[in-house]
């Protein structure tokens, strides 16, 4: 006889979206009605999963034992839908729930044969992409294993079975359309000249209370609608100023080109590219032929004051013979010339120099300083995707299921994981420093310019531009630097593909998010989003619930009509922002963040890599604590407002004082 | 032979000045003003000393005067124009460029680019002087432009006064106490445990059963010089003895570990910093310091488990019962008794378990340079362990990590008696002895718990945790009654519903189990058989599975990733480790801002009531523009004004075992075939 149970369908949709492996702690949230209703039903029904719109149950097995590495074996019902694997047991109070998206499954293996004896020796082992393994034991006589196995193989790997990913069947409707978060034209224009903006604000054409750049940017976003509250006589003046000031890009040195509108110049690049103004489209084609996979240098970011830029590309096709391209050399010169502040340009090659050299044999290579005048080449020593994959594998070994007791630190060191994180951060730091302090333009590339390059540019943008530290800004950053510039999510993650040993898989994006987390640790008030936001992004990197991380390029996404057929992750996130907001966020105006890329400040992200271990779980989930803080802040602010109102009331009608207000007895210390 | 500001020394004082110093007396220019404390005397000085700013290996720095007094070594900056940015967190006793003689750890001289440890007599004088401090500051002085005579004087003076054995009565403590006006603050909330009454109150507070009696048999220290406490000999079987000398690392091991550990933070320059960064985790591990912290915390959890779950009294045994016994019993109380997590409660605990409990601070800190063998950072070990708890459960503590850091610094400030005696007996003896000589009333020593001596109210605010989850109804009225009321619930953190199998007398007693049962004994007992090793794990897990009550039992997580380096204490002087606009201070600043806002409004409100506002309002520091603050705040304020990032210079370590992977390409497609 169960007393209370946790049923996710009774909760907000957020609860059911996020995978969990825990004793459900939300049992008290039930209305008494529901409890009564449920108690009349059978046990098995209570062990059914909640379903999302579009989700259907494909298989169900009773009397399955989940062998939890932390709390021991537990018996319950295992359900497979076209979206998730769901295990629930009423044996414990509150009921035990394991809820994982099928997208997270890396491989499924059978353990033991029908003849195997011994308890729990016959079943399935499920290896997941999010640093955990799940083991289930079936009763050999129950014949449930085979069908569960087959259904898992079918629905966890739909791509291998010519089935659609669940994202195409998910029918949830959110108030906001996340596919509209990023508009390249507006994003390039956003990178405006702040001085000019200030001038606009100085003549008070629009009412902006604060002069912070952040609010200025928000104001710019509002301007998109052109429904401006501008008084009539000033409208023309305003419009002129606005057009003038919005010359982030295009400006006198950079233009937006539509040469890649049909993805013919480069099939892994977006349709709209920002390129130097004096390089005509014809020449771009010749530059493209000299850059691996046609990935020419294009603008990522422009410094609002110095006009120093960050451009990204792939390696030049130098080859063993040391080929040169006049167009490419001229192109880089044009990038340098667009920044009057410096007579130098830095080329950051993300690879170790050995690998850059080795690439010559394959026709690739790096820019020689002889051919590119005024250019200085720096290797950032970041290793390739295979090294990173291996590093993560080692990391999993020492944290799952058990944390290595002895020699924790040297074990951690031997995974090299944090060392890789350090090098990526250090590389981004160098780039940011050159642009900010050196006022020098930089070009960033690795081999193809979609892995390490994306990590480097997006992290340095995060350091340089506070806009990207807001929730929406970060979404734009991911859309721009990762999705539009063709990070191969499909290959690196292997969505719905059963080929788990594929050498193209690598935790490149995970590393980026880890670096961001390290930055949020070092600067706890500089980011509008919280840890839960980052974990949510990673969970849905694998879940295949949203279309955001599907496919490997903009071209493919357009071809698959993802914006029409799937829901964007940002729709979900932006519809419940409060869950993802860091209450301590302070929007510093135009503040460059330099993280310290030293092991002394780097930490293993326990909240992600070791989150399945109940011992390492924070007492209350992090975001709850944040929410609590938020509530406290709101309470404080409300109080402040009350006080203010009271003051004004009293000052206006000091005569009508009936009784002394029983206000503000709480000492401040207790409130906060 | 007196410094400009010093009062005439009492004749009873032994001269600190070695003969060669006596004759040289140059007129002291007043362009640099050396601030002397009462009883402080200038011993020697040298001018045109160049002090390097610890930064990127460049030779930037300032000229000034290096002086040595009977209290400190100080560098007086010639162009101290930095008055405009008055630091918000300033120690009133020890300035930015002051090093108390007890704070000096090691002194190195540089001869032709070679570093040499300086001790005792010198034949040749170095061109550069590097002073490593116990609070982990590193000072680099260049003596190349200083007159040879002055170099000799200052170097030998500094070495003599800071590195050679000293008599207890020559501690600055005594000259300060006799010269300083008696300004002890009567409002001190800390229970000093130096009277029988204090002990009775404590027993009452913790609701100890009648078996514990506050006794005064040790009056006059007849029983033991060290023990000034209630001792209980329970003849019952429900007792577990734990010999700490066999279950915990030895003092020698602790000392070795800490010596290695602190070395990692005494960074000479940027190159050093990045060179050690590559192997940071294994270096850290090889010191064994974090592992010792882990073992100590684990042991404390085991003891808590005995008390809490098995209802067993625990008798902690150690050779002297004044080192690891103090650590474990203090930790157990911090975990079990939330009163110990308030500021006054923690201070009372230190007072009870350590100061009165007879921890040999003088020997363990080697304040008198008598014997290196006795030195061991036992008290620091406790602070390091408490810090782990503070960072795991910040809302449970009334004090901040800054509090723990300044407390650790106070170990080396010889104006407080707290950490400068081996026992209460020694203190009493010294006091009566000295006052007899001077024929005056007994000394009034300052206690470190009077924080106003070191910090003004604004700075003191940094010691209080704004996020402290205060008890719902804090009774702030009278000191003793408040304590008593306050504690009744606290001392019984978890009431086990499961009844103990024992009945009667035992039942009664175990129900009220609290910390006083942690008796300490001299000598060795028979060691009880070891517990199954994993029972503590289970105990932790079952506690952890419930939501945490910040006023109840608190257990630290001791798994590898959760035992961390106390970054504030150990990284605070290292410019490369500085985060501009970041670190925990950024959070604190944000919260304090909010508090200030509310407070201002409340003040306004109160003014409306035309009530005079007492100056008693809790001071909130002004932390405007926290983007400009660095993580080194509130320490090391003036270093590195430039906002340049610290760029790693170290090279990549070899991935020995992954050579094949390293050489692989990102893609398997041959690019040359991809060409148009």
Q: What percent of chain A has pLDDT over 70?
A: 78
pLDDT at position B431 is: 78
Rounded Cα distance between B568 and A636, Å, is 30
Report the complex ipTM.
Answer: 0.83
Condensed to tens digits (0 to 9), the pLDDT of residues B267-311 reads 888 888 999 998 999 999 999 999 999 999 999 999 998 888 877
- Domains of chain A, earliest start first: 48-156 (2.30.29.30), 254-617 (3.90.190.10)
Least confident segment among A35-39, A355-359, B241-245, B564-568: A35-39
pLDDT at position B56 is: 53
CB pairs under 8 A between A and B: 242
- What residue in A sits closest to B645 (Cα-Cα)? A594
pLDDT at position A341 is: 86
Helices (H), B457-516: 457-460, 479-490, 504-511
For chain A, what is the mean pLDDT? 82
Identify the H or E element spanning B302: helix B289-308
CB atoms within 10 A of CB A364: 27
> What's the average model confidence in pLDDT over A375-394?
96
Condensed to tens digits (0 to 9), the pLDDT of residues B327-339 reads 999 999 999 999 9
- Tell me how far apart the 2 most distant CA atoms of chain A are, in Å: 94
**Chain B residues touching residue A526 (CB < 8 angstroms):** 581-582, 586
A582, A527 in Cβ contact below 8 A? Answer: yes
> What's the average model confidence in pLDDT over B209-219?
50
A124, A144 in Cβ contact below 8 A? Answer: no
Rounded Cα distance between B359 and B422, Å, is 6
- What residue in A sits closest to B597 (Cα-Cα)? A640
Rounded Cα distance between B486 and B480, Å, is 10
B407, B383 in Cβ contact below 8 A? Answer: yes
Candidates B281, B468, B545; nearest CB to A412: B281
CA atoms within 13 A on the CB side of A670: 10
> Alpha carbon B512 to chain centroid distance?
32
Residue-by-residue DSSP string for A345-362: EEEEE-S-HHHHHHGGGG
Candidates A403, A447, A672; nearest CB to B591: A672
Q: At what angle do helices A408-415 and A385-399 cross, to 10 degrees?
A: 160
| Residue B260 reports pLDDT greater than 70 | yes
pLDDT at position B500 is: 32
Rounded Cα distance between A472 and A569, Å, is 12
CB atoms within 10 A of CB A624: 14
Contact A292 B674 (CB under 8 A): yes
* DSSP secondary structure code for residue A479 in this structure: I
Beta-strand (E) ranges in A541-582? none
Tell which residue, B351, B353, B450, B344, has the closest CA to residue B397.
B344
Beta strands A345-349; A375-379: pairing state = parallel
Condensed to tens digits (0 to 9), the pLDDT of residues A470-524 reads 999 999 999 999 999 999 999 999 999 999 999 999 999 999 999 999 999 999 8
- From residue A526, give the alpha-carbon distance in Å to each of A70, A190, A191, A402, A462: 36, 20, 19, 34, 10
Residue-by-residue DSSP string for B114-181: EEEE--S--SS--SEEEEEETTS-EEEEE-TTS-HHHHHHHHHHHHHHHHS---GGGSHHHHHHHHS-
pLDDT at position B428 is: 84
pLDDT at position B436 is: 62
Condensed to tens digits (0 to 9), the pLDDT of residues B101-136 reads 999 999 999 998 899 999 878 888 999 999 999 999
pLDDT at position A626 is: 55
- From residue B411, give the alpha-carbon distance in Å to each of B135, B176, B361, B420, B447: 9, 16, 9, 8, 12
Mutate to test the interface with A, among B561, B580, B590 (most CBs of A within 10 A): B561
Q: Return the higher-pLDDT residue of B671 and A324.
A: A324
| Residue B489 reports pLDDT greater than 70 | no
**Chain A residues touching residue B663 (CB < 8 angstroms):** 354-355, 358
pLDDT at position A208 is: 34
Tell which residue, B280, B261, B138, B587, has the closest CA to residue A601.
B280
Q: Six-digit token pair at A122?
A: 């016959």
Least confident segment among A457-466, A480-489, B206-215, B559-568: B206-215
**Chain A residues touching residue B646 (CB < 8 angstroms):** 594, 596-598
Q: pLDDT confidence of A249, banded at 50, 70, 90?
A: low
A413 Cβ contact list (under 8 Å, min separation 6): A419, B279, B280, B281, B282
Q: Return the higher-pLDDT residue of B252 and B608.
A: B252
Contact B560 A640 (CB under 8 A): no
Partners of A107 in the β-ladder: A127
Q: Return the higher-pLDDT residue of A649 and A161.
A: A161
Query: Can you say which residues of A are annotated as belonging to the binding site for substrate?
Result: 359-362, 384-385, 446-452
| Residue B614 reports pLDDT greater than 50 | no
| Residue B361 reports pLDDT greater than 50 | yes
- pTM, rounded to two decimals: 0.84
**Chain B residues touching residue A427 (CB < 8 angstroms):** none
- Domains of chain B, earliest start first: 42-81+90-164 (2.30.29.30), 182-462 (no CATH)
| Residue B499 reports pLDDT greater than 60 | no
Candidates B582, B609, B666; nearest CB to A522: B582
Q: What percent of chain B has pLDDT over 90?
A: 38
CB atoms within 10 A of CB A634: 11
CA angle, corner B28, sides to B26 and B31, nearest 5? 145
pLDDT at position B397 is: 93
Per annotation, catalytic residue among A266, A313, A446, A551 = A446
Contact A593 B602 (CB under 8 A): no
Condensed to tens digits (0 to 9), the pLDDT of residues B129-182 reads 999 999 999 999 999 999 999 999 999 999 999 999 989 888 999 989 888 776
> What's the average model confidence in pLDDT over B189-215?
70
Candidates A387, A591, A599; nearest CB to B280: A599
Q: What percent of chain B has pLDDT over 70?
A: 67
> Alpha carbon A282 to chain centroid distance?
36
B166, B369 in Cβ contact below 8 A? Answer: yes
* DSSP secondary structure code for residue B521 in this structure: E
Quick check: is A446 catalytic? yes
Report CA Rg, chain B. Answer: 27
A435, A457 in Cβ contact below 8 A? Answer: no
> What's the average model confidence in pLDDT over B502-509?
32
- Measure in Å the smallest separation between the Cα of B465 and chain A Cα atoms: 9
> What's the average model confidence in pLDDT over A349-359?
94
Q: Return the higher-pLDDT residue of B187 and A556.
A: A556
């Amino acid at each position: 006889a169960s007393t209370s149970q946790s049923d996710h369908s009774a909760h907000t949709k957020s609860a059911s979206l996020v995978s969990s492996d825990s004793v459900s702690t939300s049992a008290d949230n039930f209305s008494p009605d529901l409890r009564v209703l449920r108690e009349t039903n059978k046990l098995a029904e209570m062990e059914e999963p909640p379903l999302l719109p579009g989700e259907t149950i494909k298989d169900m097995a009773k009397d399955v034992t989940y062998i939890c590495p932390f709390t021991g074996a537990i018996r319950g019902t295992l359900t497979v839908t076209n979206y998730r694997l769901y295990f629930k047991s009423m044996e414990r109070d509150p009921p035990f729930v394991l809820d994982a998206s099928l997208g997270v499954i890396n491989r499924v293996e059978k353990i033991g044969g029908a003849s195997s004896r011994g308890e729990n020796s016959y079943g399935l082992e499920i290896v997941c992409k999010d640093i955990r393994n799940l083991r289930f034991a079936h009763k050999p006589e129950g014949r449930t294993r085979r069908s569960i196995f087959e259904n898992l193989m079918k629905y966890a790997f739909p791509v291998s079975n010519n089935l659609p990913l669940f994202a195409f069947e998910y029918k949830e409707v959110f108030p906001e359309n996340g596919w509209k978060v990023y508009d390249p034209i507006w994003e390039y224009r956003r990178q405006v000249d702040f001085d000019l903006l200030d001038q606009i604000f100085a003549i008070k054409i629009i009412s902006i209370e604060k002069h912070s750049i952040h609010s200025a940017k928000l104001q710019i976003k509002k301007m998109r609608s052109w429904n401006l509250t501008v008084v009539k006589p000033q409208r023309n003046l305003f419009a002129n100023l606005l057009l003038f000031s919005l010359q982030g890009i295009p400006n006198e040195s950079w233009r937006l080109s539509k040469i890649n509108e049909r993805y013919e110049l480069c099939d892994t690049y977006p349709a709209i590219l920002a390129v130097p103004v004096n390089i005509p489209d014809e020449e771009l084609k010749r530059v493209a032929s000299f850059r691996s996979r046609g990935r020419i240098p294009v603008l990522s970011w422009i410094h609002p004051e110095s006009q120093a830029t960050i451009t990204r590309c792939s390696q030049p096709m130098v080859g063993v013979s040391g080929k040169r391209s006049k167009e490419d050399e001229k192109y880089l010169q044009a990038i340098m010339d667009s920044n009057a502040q410096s007579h130098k340009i830095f080329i950051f090659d993300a690879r170790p120099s050995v690998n850059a050299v080795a690439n010559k044999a394959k026709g690739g290579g790096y820019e020689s300083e002889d051919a590119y005048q005024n250019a200085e080449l720096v290797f950032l020593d970041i290793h390739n995707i295979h090294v990173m994959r291996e590093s993560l594998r080692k990391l999993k070994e020492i944290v799952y299921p058990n944390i290595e007791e002895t020699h924790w630190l040297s074990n951690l060191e031997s995974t090299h994981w944090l060392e890789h994180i350090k090098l990526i951060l250090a590389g981004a730091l160098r780039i940011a420093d050159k642009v900010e302090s050196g006022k020098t333009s930089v070009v960033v590339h690795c081999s193809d310019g979609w892995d390490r390059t994306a990590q480097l540019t997006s992290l340095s943008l995060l350091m340089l531009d506070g806009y990207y530290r807001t929730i929406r800004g970060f979404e734009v950053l991911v859309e721009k630097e990762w999705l539009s510039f063709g990070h191969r999510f499909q290959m690196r993650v292997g969505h719905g593909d059963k080929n788990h040993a594929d050498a193209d898989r690598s935790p490149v994006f995970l590393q980026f998010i880890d670096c961001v987390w390290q930055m949020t640790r070092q600067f706890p008030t500089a980011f509008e989003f919280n840890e839960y936001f980052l974990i949510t992004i990673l969970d849905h990197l694998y879940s295949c619930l949203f279309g955001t991380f599907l496919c490997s390029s903009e071209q493919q996404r357009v071809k698959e009509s993802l914006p029409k057929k799937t829901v964007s992750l940002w729709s979900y996130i932006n519809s419940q922002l409060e869950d993802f907001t860091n209450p301590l966020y302070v929007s510093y105006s135009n503040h460059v963040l330099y993280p310290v890329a030293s092991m002394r400040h780097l930490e293993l992200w326990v909240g992600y890599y070791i989150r399945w271990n109940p011992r390492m779980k924070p007492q209350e989930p992090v975001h709850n604590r944040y929410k609590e803080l938020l509530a406290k802040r709101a309470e404080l602010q409300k109080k402040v407002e009350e006080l203010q109102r009271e003051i004004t009331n009293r000052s206006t009608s000091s005569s009508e004082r009936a009784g002394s207000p029983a206000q503000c007895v709480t000492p401040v210390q207790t409130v906060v | 032979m007196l410094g400009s500001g010093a009062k005439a020394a009492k004749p009873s004082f032994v001269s600190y000045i070695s003969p060669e110093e006596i004759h040289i007396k140059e007129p002291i220019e007043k362009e640099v003003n050396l601030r002397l404390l009462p009883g402080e005397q200038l011993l020697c000085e040298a001018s045109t000393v160049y002090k390097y700013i610890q930064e990127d290996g460049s030779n930037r720095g300032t000229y000034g005067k290096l002086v040595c007094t009977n209290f400190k070594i100080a560098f007086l900056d010639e162009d101290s124009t930095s008055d405009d940015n008055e630091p918000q967190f300033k120690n009133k006793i020890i300035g930015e460029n002051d090093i108390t003689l007890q704070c000096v750890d090691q002194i190195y001289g540089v001869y032709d680019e070679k570093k040499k440890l300086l001790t005792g007599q010198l034949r040749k004088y170095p061109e550069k002087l590097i002073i490593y401090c116990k609070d982990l500051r590193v000072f680099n002085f260049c003596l190349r432009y200083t007159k040879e005579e002055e170099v000799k004087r200052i170097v030998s003076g500094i070495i003599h006064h800071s590195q050679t054995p000293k008599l207890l009565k020559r501690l600055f403590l005594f000259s300060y106490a006799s010269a300083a006006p008696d300004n002890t603050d009567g409002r001190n909330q800390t229970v000093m445990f130096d009277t029988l009454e204090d002990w009775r109150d404590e027993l009452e507070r913790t609701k100890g059963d009648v078996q514990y009696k506050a006794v005064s048999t040790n009056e006059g220290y007849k029983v033991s010089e060290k023990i000034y406490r209630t001792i209980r000999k329970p003849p019952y079987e429900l007792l577990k003895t734990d010999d700490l000398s066999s279950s915990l690392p030895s003092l020698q091991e602790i000392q070795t570990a800490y010596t290695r550990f602190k070395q990692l933070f005494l960074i000479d320059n940027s190159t050093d910093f990045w060179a050690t960064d590559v192997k940071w985790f294994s270096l850290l591990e090889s010191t064994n310091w974090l592992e010792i912290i882990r073992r100590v915390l684990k042991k404390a959890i085991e003891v808590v488990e005995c008390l809490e779950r098995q209802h067993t009294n625990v008798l902690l045994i150690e050779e002297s019962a004044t080192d690891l016994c103090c650590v474990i019993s203090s930790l157990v109380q911090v975990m079990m008794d939330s009163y110990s997590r308030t500021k006054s409660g923690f201070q009372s605990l230190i007072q009870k378990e350590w100061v009165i409990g007879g921890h040999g601070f003088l020997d363990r800190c080697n304040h008198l340079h008598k014997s290196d063998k006795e030195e061991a950072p036992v008290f620091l070990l406790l602070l390091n362990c408490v810090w782990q708890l503070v960072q795991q459960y910040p809302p449970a503590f009334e004090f901040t990590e800054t509090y723990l850091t300044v407390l650790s610094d106070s170990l080396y400030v010889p104006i407080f008696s707290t950490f400068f005696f081996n026992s209460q007996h020694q203190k009493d003896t010294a006091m009566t002895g000295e006052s007899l000589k001077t024929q005056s009333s007994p000394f009034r020593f300052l206690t470190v718990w009077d924080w106003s001596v070191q910090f003004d109210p604004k700075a003191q605010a940094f010691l209080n945790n704004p996020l402290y989850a205060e008890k719902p109804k804090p009774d702030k009225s009278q000191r003793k009654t408040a304590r008593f009321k306050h504690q009744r619930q606290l001392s019984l953190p978890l009431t086990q519903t499961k009844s103990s199998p024992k009945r009667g007398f035992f039942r009664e007693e175990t129900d009220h189990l609290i910390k006083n049962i942690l008796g300490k004994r001299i000598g060795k007992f028979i060691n009880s058989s070891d517990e199954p090793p994993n029972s503590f794990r289970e105990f932790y897990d079952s506690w952890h599975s419930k939501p945490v009550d910040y006023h109840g039992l608190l257990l630290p997580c001791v798994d590898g990733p959760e035992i961390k380096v106390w970054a504030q204490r150990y990284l605070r002087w290292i410019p490369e480790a500085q985060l501009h606009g970041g670190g925990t201070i950024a959070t604190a600043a944000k919260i304090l801002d909010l508090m200030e806002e509310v407070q201002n409004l409340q003040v306004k409100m109160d003014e409306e009531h035309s009530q005079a506002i007492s100056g008693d309002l809790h001071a909130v520091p002004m932390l405007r523009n926290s983007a400009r603050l660095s993580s080194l705040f509130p320490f090391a304020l003036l270093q590195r004004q430039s906002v340049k990032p610290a760029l790693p210079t170290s090279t990549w370590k070899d991935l020995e075992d992954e050579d094949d992977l390293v050489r692989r390409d990102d893609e398997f497609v041959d690019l040359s075939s991809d060409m148009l």
